[in-house]
Structure 1
Amino acid sequence: MARLSVIPCRDANIRVGILGGSFNPAHTGHCHISLEAIKRLHLSYVVWLVSPQNPLKALNIKASLDQRVTFAKSVACSRKIIVSDIERHFPDCYTANSIARIMEMHPKTEFMWIMGADNMLQIHKWYRWWRIFELLPVVVFDRGEHIQNLRNSKAGAMYSASSIISGSNAYSNDDAGAAKHTDWYFLKIKKEYSSSSQLRSVLQCETK
Protein backbone atom coordinates (compact mmCIF):
# COMPACT_ATOMS: atom_id res chain seq x y z
CA MET A 1 0.00 0.00 0.00
CA ALA A 2 2.84 2.39 0.85
CA ARG A 3 4.13 2.36 -2.73
CA LEU A 4 0.77 3.06 -4.34
CA SER A 5 -0.27 6.57 -5.38
CA VAL A 6 -2.81 8.30 -7.61
CA ILE A 7 -0.94 11.56 -8.32
CA PRO A 8 2.67 12.12 -9.49
CA CYS A 9 3.97 13.32 -6.13
CA ARG A 10 2.92 11.53 -2.95
CA ASP A 11 3.70 14.50 -0.68
CA ALA A 12 2.22 17.26 -2.84
CA ASN A 13 0.44 20.05 -0.98
CA ILE A 14 -2.20 20.57 -3.67
CA ARG A 15 -5.95 20.27 -4.26
CA VAL A 16 -7.17 17.26 -6.25
CA GLY A 17 -10.64 16.18 -7.34
CA ILE A 18 -11.71 12.53 -7.52
CA LEU A 19 -14.33 11.50 -10.08
CA GLY A 20 -15.24 7.87 -9.57
CA GLY A 21 -17.20 5.44 -11.71
CA SER A 22 -17.10 2.43 -13.98
CA PHE A 23 -16.29 4.63 -17.02
CA ASN A 24 -18.10 2.12 -19.20
CA PRO A 25 -17.04 3.84 -21.35
CA ALA A 26 -15.48 7.23 -20.62
CA HIS A 27 -16.98 10.05 -22.69
CA THR A 28 -16.92 13.80 -23.33
CA GLY A 29 -19.24 14.39 -20.39
CA HIS A 30 -16.53 13.18 -18.03
CA CYS A 31 -14.10 15.59 -19.70
CA HIS A 32 -16.61 18.43 -19.45
CA ILE A 33 -17.13 17.94 -15.72
CA SER A 34 -13.40 17.50 -15.11
CA LEU A 35 -12.35 20.65 -16.97
CA GLU A 36 -15.03 22.69 -15.20
CA ALA A 37 -13.85 21.31 -11.86
CA ILE A 38 -10.20 22.09 -12.60
CA LYS A 39 -11.08 25.65 -13.59
CA ARG A 40 -13.65 26.59 -10.99
CA LEU A 41 -12.43 24.61 -8.00
CA HIS A 42 -8.77 25.50 -8.62
CA LEU A 43 -7.68 21.87 -8.83
CA SER A 44 -4.19 20.71 -9.77
CA TYR A 45 -5.61 17.41 -11.04
CA VAL A 46 -8.80 15.43 -11.43
CA VAL A 47 -8.38 11.69 -10.90
CA TRP A 48 -10.70 9.41 -12.84
CA LEU A 49 -11.05 6.55 -10.38
CA VAL A 50 -12.03 3.65 -12.65
CA SER A 51 -13.76 1.02 -10.55
CA PRO A 52 -13.32 -2.71 -11.26
CA GLN A 53 -17.03 -3.14 -10.49
CA ASN A 54 -19.85 -0.96 -9.20
CA PRO A 55 -21.14 -2.79 -6.08
CA LEU A 56 -24.69 -1.55 -6.79
CA LYS A 57 -24.82 -2.86 -10.34
CA ALA A 58 -25.03 -6.37 -11.68
CA LEU A 59 -21.92 -7.95 -13.18
CA ASN A 60 -22.86 -6.72 -16.66
CA ILE A 61 -19.75 -4.74 -17.61
CA LYS A 62 -18.61 -6.34 -20.85
CA ALA A 63 -15.41 -4.31 -21.17
CA SER A 64 -12.61 -5.39 -18.88
CA LEU A 65 -11.01 -2.98 -16.43
CA ASP A 66 -7.92 -2.77 -18.65
CA GLN A 67 -10.06 -1.95 -21.69
CA ARG A 68 -11.98 0.74 -19.82
CA VAL A 69 -8.79 2.29 -18.45
CA THR A 70 -7.15 2.31 -21.90
CA PHE A 71 -10.21 3.92 -23.48
CA ALA A 72 -10.46 6.48 -20.67
CA LYS A 73 -6.84 7.49 -21.24
CA SER A 74 -7.61 8.03 -24.93
CA VAL A 75 -10.60 10.22 -24.03
CA ALA A 76 -8.91 12.26 -21.28
CA CYS A 77 -8.51 15.73 -22.74
CA SER A 78 -5.99 17.30 -20.38
CA ARG A 79 -2.70 16.44 -18.73
CA LYS A 80 -4.41 17.41 -15.50
CA ILE A 81 -6.76 14.43 -15.83
CA ILE A 82 -5.22 11.28 -14.35
CA VAL A 83 -6.82 7.92 -15.13
CA SER A 84 -6.29 5.53 -12.22
CA ASP A 85 -7.08 1.85 -11.72
CA ILE A 86 -5.71 1.84 -8.19
CA GLU A 87 -8.86 0.18 -6.84
CA ARG A 88 -7.72 -3.09 -8.42
CA HIS A 89 -5.11 -3.22 -5.64
CA PHE A 90 -7.64 -2.68 -2.83
CA PRO A 91 -9.41 -5.50 -0.98
CA ASP A 92 -12.74 -3.88 -1.94
CA CYS A 93 -13.89 -1.01 -4.16
CA TYR A 94 -16.39 0.71 -1.87
CA THR A 95 -16.05 4.45 -2.43
CA ALA A 96 -15.80 5.40 1.25
CA ASN A 97 -13.01 2.89 1.81
CA SER A 98 -11.16 3.86 -1.37
CA ILE A 99 -11.22 7.55 -0.47
CA ALA A 100 -9.84 6.81 2.99
CA ARG A 101 -7.01 4.72 1.52
CA ILE A 102 -6.12 7.38 -1.05
CA MET A 103 -6.11 10.12 1.58
CA GLU A 104 -3.79 7.98 3.70
CA MET A 105 -1.40 7.69 0.75
CA HIS A 106 -1.36 11.45 0.24
CA PRO A 107 -1.75 13.08 3.68
CA LYS A 108 -0.70 16.55 2.47
CA THR A 109 -3.13 16.66 -0.44
CA GLU A 110 -6.57 18.27 -0.18
CA PHE A 111 -9.05 15.98 -1.91
CA MET A 112 -12.59 16.72 -3.09
CA TRP A 113 -15.16 14.14 -4.20
CA ILE A 114 -16.88 15.04 -7.49
CA MET A 115 -20.14 13.49 -8.67
CA GLY A 116 -23.26 14.18 -10.71
CA ALA A 117 -26.60 15.17 -9.23
CA ASP A 118 -28.04 11.74 -10.06
CA ASN A 119 -25.53 10.10 -7.72
CA MET A 120 -26.33 12.57 -4.94
CA LEU A 121 -29.96 11.45 -5.10
CA GLN A 122 -29.05 7.80 -4.49
CA ILE A 123 -25.77 7.98 -2.60
CA HIS A 124 -27.57 6.86 0.56
CA LYS A 125 -27.59 3.36 -0.99
CA TRP A 126 -23.80 3.26 -1.05
CA TYR A 127 -21.77 1.37 1.54
CA ARG A 128 -21.10 3.64 4.55
CA TRP A 129 -22.06 6.60 2.39
CA TRP A 130 -22.05 9.10 5.27
CA ARG A 131 -18.33 8.54 5.70
CA ILE A 132 -17.68 10.19 2.33
CA PHE A 133 -19.14 13.48 3.58
CA GLU A 134 -17.15 13.20 6.79
CA LEU A 135 -13.86 12.55 4.98
CA LEU A 136 -13.80 15.36 2.43
CA PRO A 137 -15.85 18.12 0.74
CA VAL A 138 -18.32 16.86 -1.87
CA VAL A 139 -19.04 18.80 -5.07
CA VAL A 140 -22.25 17.93 -6.92
CA PHE A 141 -22.53 18.95 -10.57
CA ASP A 142 -25.87 19.98 -12.04
CA ARG A 143 -27.01 17.35 -14.53
CA GLY A 144 -30.65 18.43 -14.74
CA GLU A 145 -32.04 17.94 -11.24
CA HIS A 146 -33.21 21.00 -9.33
CA ILE A 147 -31.20 22.02 -6.30
CA GLN A 148 -34.28 21.57 -4.11
CA ASN A 149 -34.48 17.90 -5.06
CA LEU A 150 -30.92 17.46 -3.85
CA ARG A 151 -31.61 19.26 -0.60
CA ASN A 152 -34.63 17.02 -0.02
CA SER A 153 -32.66 13.83 -0.71
CA LYS A 154 -31.58 11.68 2.21
CA ALA A 155 -27.97 12.89 1.99
CA GLY A 156 -29.02 16.49 1.38
CA ALA A 157 -31.27 16.43 4.42
CA MET A 158 -28.48 15.11 6.63
CA TYR A 159 -25.71 17.36 5.33
CA SER A 160 -26.47 20.96 4.40
CA ALA A 161 -25.26 22.54 1.17
CA SER A 162 -22.62 25.14 1.91
CA SER A 163 -23.03 27.11 -1.29
CA ILE A 164 -24.17 27.08 -4.89
CA ILE A 165 -21.16 27.61 -7.14
CA SER A 166 -22.07 29.38 -10.38
CA GLY A 167 -19.80 30.59 -13.17
CA SER A 168 -18.99 33.80 -11.34
CA ASN A 169 -18.67 32.15 -7.93
CA ALA A 170 -15.74 29.74 -7.93
CA TYR A 171 -14.62 27.73 -4.91
CA SER A 172 -11.81 29.75 -3.37
CA ASN A 173 -8.98 29.15 -0.94
CA ASP A 174 -11.07 30.98 1.66
CA ASP A 175 -13.86 28.45 1.12
CA ALA A 176 -11.37 25.64 1.64
CA GLY A 177 -10.24 27.09 4.93
CA ALA A 178 -13.78 27.50 6.20
CA ALA A 179 -15.20 24.24 4.85
CA LYS A 180 -16.22 21.44 7.15
CA HIS A 181 -15.88 17.87 5.94
CA THR A 182 -19.65 17.53 6.09
CA ASP A 183 -20.14 20.34 3.55
CA TRP A 184 -21.29 19.74 0.02
CA TYR A 185 -21.39 22.16 -2.87
CA PHE A 186 -23.72 22.41 -5.84
CA LEU A 187 -21.90 23.51 -8.98
CA LYS A 188 -23.96 24.75 -11.91
CA ILE A 189 -22.57 23.92 -15.33
CA LYS A 190 -23.76 23.95 -18.92
CA LYS A 191 -25.51 20.70 -19.77
CA GLU A 192 -23.45 17.99 -21.44
CA TYR A 193 -25.64 15.34 -23.03
CA SER A 194 -23.09 12.58 -23.53
CA SER A 195 -23.59 9.51 -21.37
CA SER A 196 -21.95 6.11 -21.11
CA SER A 197 -25.19 4.34 -22.03
CA GLN A 198 -25.65 6.48 -25.15
CA LEU A 199 -22.05 5.94 -26.23
CA ARG A 200 -22.31 2.17 -25.66
CA SER A 201 -25.33 2.10 -27.98
CA VAL A 202 -23.38 3.95 -30.68
CA LEU A 203 -20.34 1.70 -30.33
CA GLN A 204 -22.51 -1.43 -30.48
CA CYS A 205 -24.14 -0.20 -33.69
CA GLU A 206 -20.74 0.55 -35.23
CA THR A 207 -19.46 -2.95 -34.50
CA LYS A 208 -22.44 -4.80 -35.96
Structure 2
Amino acid sequence: MGYPFPYVAPGQVIGLLGGSFDPAHEGHAHITREALKRFGLDRVWWLVSPGNPLKAQGPAPLAQRMERARQVMQHPRVDVTDIEAQLGTRFTAETIVALRARHPGVRFVWLMGADNLAQLHLWQDWQQIVETVPIGVMARPGQRISARMSRAAALYAKYRIPGRQSQLLGYADAPAWCFVNVPMTDVSSTAIRAAGEWSS
Protein backbone atom coordinates (compact mmCIF):
# COMPACT_ATOMS: atom_id res chain seq x y z
CA MET A 1 0.00 0.00 0.00
CA GLY A 2 2.70 2.45 1.01
CA TYR A 3 2.59 5.86 2.60
CA PRO A 4 1.54 9.05 0.78
CA PHE A 5 4.29 10.83 -1.13
CA PRO A 6 5.35 13.98 0.73
CA TYR A 7 4.18 17.30 -0.70
CA VAL A 8 6.83 19.30 -2.53
CA ALA A 9 6.67 22.55 -4.49
CA PRO A 10 8.75 23.46 -7.57
CA GLY A 11 11.84 25.43 -6.58
CA GLN A 12 12.25 23.70 -3.24
CA VAL A 13 15.55 22.07 -2.29
CA ILE A 14 15.01 18.56 -0.94
CA GLY A 15 17.75 16.52 0.70
CA LEU A 16 17.52 12.77 0.16
CA LEU A 17 18.92 10.46 2.84
CA GLY A 18 18.71 6.84 1.74
CA GLY A 19 19.42 3.70 3.69
CA SER A 20 18.07 0.53 5.20
CA PHE A 21 17.61 2.25 8.61
CA ASP A 22 17.89 -1.18 10.26
CA PRO A 23 17.22 0.28 12.76
CA ALA A 24 17.00 4.07 12.59
CA HIS A 25 18.75 5.77 15.51
CA GLU A 26 19.73 9.16 16.90
CA GLY A 27 22.83 9.29 14.68
CA HIS A 28 20.61 9.33 11.59
CA ALA A 29 18.41 12.04 13.13
CA HIS A 30 21.49 14.07 14.09
CA ILE A 31 23.03 14.15 10.60
CA THR A 32 19.61 15.00 9.16
CA ARG A 33 19.28 18.07 11.40
CA GLU A 34 22.86 19.07 10.54
CA ALA A 35 22.16 18.67 6.80
CA LEU A 36 19.14 20.99 7.05
CA LYS A 37 21.35 23.64 8.66
CA ARG A 38 24.51 23.19 6.59
CA PHE A 39 23.28 22.71 3.02
CA GLY A 40 20.45 25.22 2.73
CA LEU A 41 17.74 22.57 2.38
CA ASP A 42 14.01 23.24 2.61
CA ARG A 43 13.22 19.66 3.62
CA VAL A 44 14.83 16.23 3.96
CA TRP A 45 13.22 12.98 2.85
CA TRP A 46 14.37 9.73 4.41
CA LEU A 47 14.24 7.01 1.78
CA VAL A 48 13.82 3.81 3.80
CA SER A 49 14.90 1.21 1.27
CA PRO A 50 13.25 -2.16 0.64
CA GLY A 51 16.77 -3.66 0.86
CA ASN A 52 20.41 -2.68 0.36
CA PRO A 53 21.94 -4.32 -2.76
CA LEU A 54 25.42 -4.11 -1.16
CA LYS A 55 24.38 -6.09 1.93
CA ALA A 56 24.05 -9.87 1.79
CA GLN A 57 21.55 -10.20 4.65
CA GLY A 58 18.11 -8.70 4.32
CA PRO A 59 16.90 -6.03 6.75
CA ALA A 60 13.92 -6.19 9.09
CA PRO A 61 10.49 -5.85 7.42
CA LEU A 62 9.93 -2.45 5.83
CA ALA A 63 6.87 -1.60 7.95
CA GLN A 64 8.87 -2.30 11.13
CA ARG A 65 11.74 -0.07 9.98
CA MET A 66 9.34 2.71 8.90
CA GLU A 67 7.62 2.70 12.29
CA ARG A 68 10.94 2.90 14.14
CA ALA A 69 12.21 5.65 11.79
CA ARG A 70 9.13 7.78 12.44
CA GLN A 71 9.64 7.43 16.19
CA VAL A 72 13.29 8.45 15.93
CA MET A 73 12.96 11.28 13.38
CA GLN A 74 10.31 13.78 14.39
CA HIS A 75 10.94 17.13 12.75
CA PRO A 76 8.55 19.46 10.90
CA ARG A 77 10.82 19.58 7.84
CA VAL A 78 11.64 15.87 7.60
CA ASP A 79 9.51 13.20 5.89
CA VAL A 80 10.11 9.48 6.49
CA THR A 81 9.13 7.69 3.27
CA ASP A 82 9.01 4.30 1.55
CA ILE A 83 9.34 6.00 -1.85
CA GLU A 84 11.72 3.40 -3.30
CA ALA A 85 9.28 0.57 -2.57
CA GLN A 86 6.50 2.55 -4.24
CA LEU A 87 8.60 3.49 -7.26
CA GLY A 88 9.95 -0.04 -7.60
CA THR A 89 13.54 1.23 -7.76
CA ARG A 90 16.40 -0.81 -6.33
CA PHE A 91 19.40 1.42 -6.92
CA THR A 92 20.02 5.05 -5.96
CA ALA A 93 20.64 6.12 -9.57
CA GLU A 94 17.21 4.76 -10.58
CA THR A 95 15.51 6.47 -7.65
CA ILE A 96 17.02 9.85 -8.51
CA VAL A 97 15.94 9.57 -12.16
CA ALA A 98 12.39 8.64 -11.11
CA LEU A 99 12.11 11.47 -8.58
CA ARG A 100 13.41 14.08 -11.00
CA ALA A 101 10.88 12.92 -13.62
CA ARG A 102 8.06 12.99 -11.08
CA HIS A 103 8.98 16.40 -9.62
CA PRO A 104 10.29 18.72 -12.35
CA GLY A 105 11.52 22.01 -10.96
CA VAL A 106 12.50 20.52 -7.60
CA ARG A 107 16.19 20.58 -6.68
CA PHE A 108 17.32 17.31 -5.07
CA VAL A 109 20.52 16.89 -3.04
CA TRP A 110 21.81 13.41 -2.18
CA LEU A 111 23.02 13.16 1.43
CA MET A 112 25.50 10.62 2.72
CA GLY A 113 27.94 9.92 5.49
CA ALA A 114 31.64 10.01 4.69
CA ASP A 115 31.76 6.21 4.91
CA ASN A 116 29.47 6.03 1.88
CA LEU A 117 31.64 8.44 -0.10
CA ALA A 118 34.58 6.10 0.52
CA GLN A 119 32.75 3.26 -1.25
CA LEU A 120 30.65 5.30 -3.70
CA HIS A 121 32.58 3.89 -6.69
CA LEU A 122 31.05 0.47 -5.87
CA TRP A 123 27.52 1.75 -6.37
CA GLN A 124 25.55 0.98 -9.51
CA ASP A 125 25.92 3.88 -12.02
CA TRP A 126 27.72 5.95 -9.40
CA GLN A 127 29.06 8.52 -11.85
CA GLN A 128 25.54 9.11 -13.12
CA ILE A 129 24.52 9.93 -9.52
CA VAL A 130 27.36 12.44 -9.09
CA GLU A 131 26.61 14.09 -12.41
CA THR A 132 22.84 14.31 -11.82
CA VAL A 133 22.45 15.78 -8.31
CA PRO A 134 24.69 17.70 -5.87
CA ILE A 135 25.96 15.57 -3.00
CA GLY A 136 26.29 16.61 0.63
CA VAL A 137 28.78 14.53 2.62
CA MET A 138 28.90 14.56 6.42
CA ALA A 139 31.94 13.23 8.24
CA ARG A 140 31.40 10.38 10.66
CA PRO A 141 33.89 9.07 13.26
CA GLY A 142 36.99 7.50 11.73
CA GLN A 143 35.96 8.06 8.12
CA ARG A 144 37.38 11.49 7.27
CA ILE A 145 40.65 10.37 5.69
CA SER A 146 39.37 7.37 3.70
CA ALA A 147 36.54 9.44 2.25
CA ARG A 148 38.80 12.28 1.13
CA MET A 149 41.18 9.79 -0.46
CA SER A 150 38.37 7.90 -2.20
CA ARG A 151 38.12 7.34 -5.93
CA ALA A 152 35.01 9.54 -6.19
CA ALA A 153 36.64 12.40 -4.27
CA ALA A 154 39.73 12.24 -6.47
CA LEU A 155 37.85 12.08 -9.76
CA TYR A 156 35.53 14.97 -8.88
CA ALA A 157 38.00 17.02 -6.82
CA LYS A 158 37.54 20.19 -8.88
CA TYR A 159 33.78 20.16 -8.27
CA ARG A 160 34.08 20.26 -4.49
CA ILE A 161 32.46 23.23 -2.76
CA PRO A 162 34.41 24.36 0.34
CA GLY A 163 32.73 23.54 3.63
CA ARG A 164 32.47 27.22 4.55
CA GLN A 165 30.29 27.72 1.45
CA SER A 166 28.07 24.70 2.13
CA GLN A 167 24.86 26.76 1.92
CA LEU A 168 25.44 27.02 -1.84
CA LEU A 169 25.17 23.28 -2.42
CA GLY A 170 21.40 23.10 -2.92
CA TYR A 171 21.57 25.60 -5.78
CA ALA A 172 24.70 24.26 -7.44
CA ASP A 173 24.52 22.36 -10.72
CA ALA A 174 25.85 18.80 -10.66
CA PRO A 175 28.51 17.64 -10.47
CA ALA A 176 28.97 19.41 -7.14
CA TRP A 177 29.74 18.06 -3.71
CA CYS A 178 30.53 19.43 -0.29
CA PHE A 179 32.23 17.73 2.65
CA VAL A 180 31.41 19.08 6.12
CA ASN A 181 32.70 18.01 9.49
CA VAL A 182 29.88 17.74 12.03
CA PRO A 183 29.93 16.67 15.66
CA MET A 184 29.03 13.00 15.39
CA THR A 185 27.49 10.38 17.60
CA ASP A 186 29.16 6.97 17.55
CA VAL A 187 25.92 5.00 17.66
CA SER A 188 25.40 2.66 14.70
CA SER A 189 22.68 0.32 13.46
CA THR A 190 25.20 -2.54 13.46
CA ALA A 191 25.99 -1.99 17.15
CA ILE A 192 22.30 -1.82 18.06
CA ARG A 193 21.63 -5.13 16.28
CA ALA A 194 24.71 -6.74 17.88
CA ALA A 195 23.47 -5.71 21.34
CA GLY A 196 20.22 -7.56 20.69
CA GLU A 197 18.14 -4.38 20.86
CA TRP A 198 16.74 -4.87 17.36
CA SER A 199 15.91 -8.00 15.39
CA SER A 200 16.17 -8.14 11.61
Tell me the TM-score normalized by structure 2. 0.88
Is 1:112–2:109 an aligned residue pair?
yes
- Structure 1 ranges of 4+ moved more than 6 A: none
Letter of the 2:166 partner, please give it.
Y
What residue is the counterpart of 1:60 in the other structure? 58
Q: How does 1:1-208 map to 2 (within 5 A)?
A: 6-9=5-8, 11-61=9-59, 63-145=60-142, 147-160=144-157, 161-165=159-163, 169=164, 171-173=166-168, 176-177=170-171, 179-202=172-195, 204=196
Percent identical across equivalent pairs?
A: 36
Paired with 2:197 and 2:66, the residues of 1 have a C-alpha distance of 22
Q: Please report how far the alpha carbon of residue 41 of structure 1 lies from its aligned counterpart in structure 2 after TM superposition.
A: 1.5
Secondary structure of the corresponding residue to residue 108 of structure 1: coil
Q: Please report how far the alpha carbon of residue 93 of structure 1 lies from its aligned counterpart in structure 2 after TM superposition.
A: 1.2
CA contact (8 A) 1:141 1:189 kept: yes
Secondary structure of the corresponding residue to residue 135 of structure 1: coil
Letter of the 1:193 partner, please give it.
D
Mean CA deviation greater in 106-115 or 139-148: 139-148
CA contact (8 A) 1:117 1:145 kept: no
CA contact (8 A) 1:38 1:46 kept: yes
Paired with 1:133 and 1:189, the residues of 2 have a C-alpha distance of 22
Deviations 1:48-74 (A, max 9, x none): 10110101111332x101110111011
Structure 1, unpaired ranges of 5+: none
Q: CA RMSD in A?
A: 2.2
Tell me the TM-score normalized by structure 1. 0.85
Q: Please report how far the alpha carbon of residue 123 of structure 1 lies from its aligned counterpart in structure 2 after TM superposition.
A: 1.0
Deviations 1:123-150 (A, max 9, x none): 1111111111011101110113465533
Structure 2, unpaired ranges of 5+: none
Matched residue count? 196
